[in-house]
Amino acid sequence: MPLPAFDTPLIFETGQEGRANRYLPDGPALETLLPASALRDDLPLPDNTELDVVRHFTRLSQKTFGIDTAFYPLVRAR
């Protein structure tokens, strides 16, 4: 049974430390690529698996009216 739209947690609330897949090796330090004025002190990105992200956005897309799932009236009713 799907959750109501207001019960769907934000993707930031579902992440857990260490869950994200690490496909690529770490790159160079950002300090070597950007000036210090362009860097943030903290960037709280969610740590989710790829599958969790796909499931999250699929669940959200099913809560909206989609032209690919039902008849979409293009003419205003009179």
> In this predicted model, what pLDDT tens digit does every residue of 24-48 receive, in sequence order?
788 888 888 989 888 888 877 788 8
Burial profile 7-44: b = 16 or more Cβ within 10 angstroms, e = fewer:
eeeeeeebbeeeebeeeeeeeeeeeeeeeeeeeeeeee
Q: In this predicted structure, what is the pLDDT of residue 78?
A: 67
Q: In this predicted structure, what is the pLDDT of residue 60?
A: 83
Backbone angles phi, psi at 52, to 5 degrees: -60, -40
Q: In this predicted structure, what is the pLDDT of residue 26?
A: 80
Q: How confident is the model at residue 4 (pLDDT cuts 50, 70, 90)?
A: low
